[in-house]
């Protein structure tokens, strides 16, 4: 019976790594899965899935069939495991899947940090502005009103500009937080392409998203090849992982050229799928029979590029938001302190 709960990226990686190691050690698949079961009765998504898989294997199902029946694995994993069973490379396929999902988890955490940290900064700005409006500015306003009478009619009336400025900034930051929240809900409800188009408008984000699509495609292509797929079929299958219009367009061009007799390396280079320096890596590798090693290296380079791009984007957003916070507080405090300077000058 399928379960709607899906395993996390890290759980899939751990599951595949454990099975791969035991299969390499010569342990039968049914026994290997049984060894993964918890000895206690505590439930959990992974443990429930392992129990279902173990039961299906005992009933005569293959590993891919048992994993499919559990309803906890994405189609990509099921395809890879089934191909590994067909070609006799189950351990290798599982090892590649483990590496793929481990890298996906690492990148996912990196992207989350790139989003969460700026949002935390914005929330901090909102808190500071709220405190300025509710405590700091009213305290100064009361002092000045005591000294000069009606604040609106005195020479210190421009303190109201501090209130106005903080209110405007608070409204803008609040609207931004609400907008991000709505975008997240829309993204989760199936409007991924529309939200992705908005994200690409952020300077630097477009290149990161394209590199992520290339990384997903290249990693999947590498795993499909290692599992026994021919290049044409591997490209066809891996293309489903891209989920990026521009990258998908280039992959279609690659498929056309491969249908005309070109190898993947030549077709990818001609279609401009990768940066020229990356594309040229593939051609000699394909001719020398070292395609697997080069694809592994290429995925590492793409991953490093995504991480570096995320770090730069995060650094830029941090600088902008820190600047907004400092400028907002500085202007508000300046508006508050000017009357005090006026009082000190009049006393002098």
CA dist 287 and 62 (Å) reads 37
299-318 burial, b at 16+ Cβ within 10 Å, e below that, comes to bebbbebbbebbeebbeebe
pLDDT confidence of residue 9: 86
Closest by CA to 340, choosing from 180, 204, 158, 170, is: 158
Q: 48: domain range?
A: 9-73
DSSP 34-65: HHHS-SS----HHHHHHHHHHHHHHTT--HHH
Quick: pLDDT tens for 206-239. Answer: 888 888 888 888 888 888 887 778 889 889 888 8
Of 24, 56, 73, which residue constitutes the final position of a domain?
73
Number of domains in the chain: 2
Of 49, 73, 97, which residue constitutes the final position of a domain?
73
Residues 20 and 139 in one domain: no
CA dist 186 and 335 (Å) reads 41
Closest by CA to 279, choosing from 260, 262, 266, 263, is: 266
pLDDT confidence of residue 250: 92
The verdict on residue 91 lying in a domain is: no
pLDDT confidence of residue 2: 42
pLDDT confidence of residue 112: 78
Quick: pLDDT tens for 102-112. Answer: 888 887 887 77
155, 332 Cβ separation under 8 angstroms:
no
Tokens matching residue 115: 């989003």
Residues 150 and 214 in one domain: yes
Residues 185 and 51 in one domain: no
Residues 152 and 246 in one domain: yes
Residues 35 and 112 in one domain: no
Tokens matching residue 17: 């790594």
Residues 123 and 47 in one domain: no
The verdict on residue 80 lying in a domain is: no
pLDDT confidence of residue 150: 52
Q: What is the DSSP letter of 203?
A: T
First to last CA, the chain: 86
- Considering only residues 74 and 188, tell me which one the structure prediction assigns the higher pLDDT: 74
What pLDDT band is residue 155 in, cutting at 50, 70 and 90? very low
């Amino acid at each position: 019976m399928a379960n709607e709960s899906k395993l996390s990226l890290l759980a899939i990686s751990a599951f595949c790594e454990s099975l791969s190691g035991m299969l390499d050690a010569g342990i039968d698949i049914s026994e290997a899965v049984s060894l993964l079961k918890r000895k206690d009765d505590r439930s959990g998504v992974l443990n429930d899935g392992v129990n279902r898989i173990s039961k299906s294997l005992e009933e005569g199902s293959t590993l891919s069939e048992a994993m499919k029946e559990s309803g906890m694995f994405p189609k990509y994993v099921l395809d890879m495991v089934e191909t590994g069973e067909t070609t006799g490379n189950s351990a290798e396929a599982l090892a590649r899947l483990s590496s793929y999902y481990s890298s996906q988890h690492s990148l996912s955490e990196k992207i989350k940090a790139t989003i969460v940290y700026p949002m935390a900064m914005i929330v901090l700005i909102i808190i500071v502005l709220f405190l300025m409006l509710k405590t700091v500015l009213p305290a100064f306003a009361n002092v000045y009103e005591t000294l000069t009478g009606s604040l609106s009619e005195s020479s210190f009336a421009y303190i109201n500009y501090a209130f106005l400025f903080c209110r405007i900034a608070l409204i803008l930051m609040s609207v931004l937080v609400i907008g991000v929240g709505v975008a997240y809900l829309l993204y989760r409800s199936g409007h991924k392409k529309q939200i992705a188009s908005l994200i690409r408008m952020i300077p630097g984000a477009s290149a990161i998203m394209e590199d992520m699509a290339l990384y997903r495609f290249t990693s999947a292509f590498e795993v499909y090849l290692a599992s026994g797929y021919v290049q044409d079929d591997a490209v066809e299958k891996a293309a489903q992982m891209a989920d990026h219009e521009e990258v998908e367009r280039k992959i279609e061009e690659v498929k056309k050229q491969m249908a005309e007799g070109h190898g993947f390396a030549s077709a990818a280079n001609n279609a401009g799928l990768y940066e020229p320096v990356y594309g040229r890596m593939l051609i000699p590798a394909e001719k020398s029979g070292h395609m697997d090693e080069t694809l592994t290296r290429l995925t590492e380079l793409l991953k490093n590029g995504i991480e570096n791009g995320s770090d730069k984007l995060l650094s830029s957003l941090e600088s902008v938001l820190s600047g907004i916070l400092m400028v907002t507080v500085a202007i508000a405090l300046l508006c508050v302190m000017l009357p005090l300077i006026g009082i000190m000058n009049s006393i002098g």
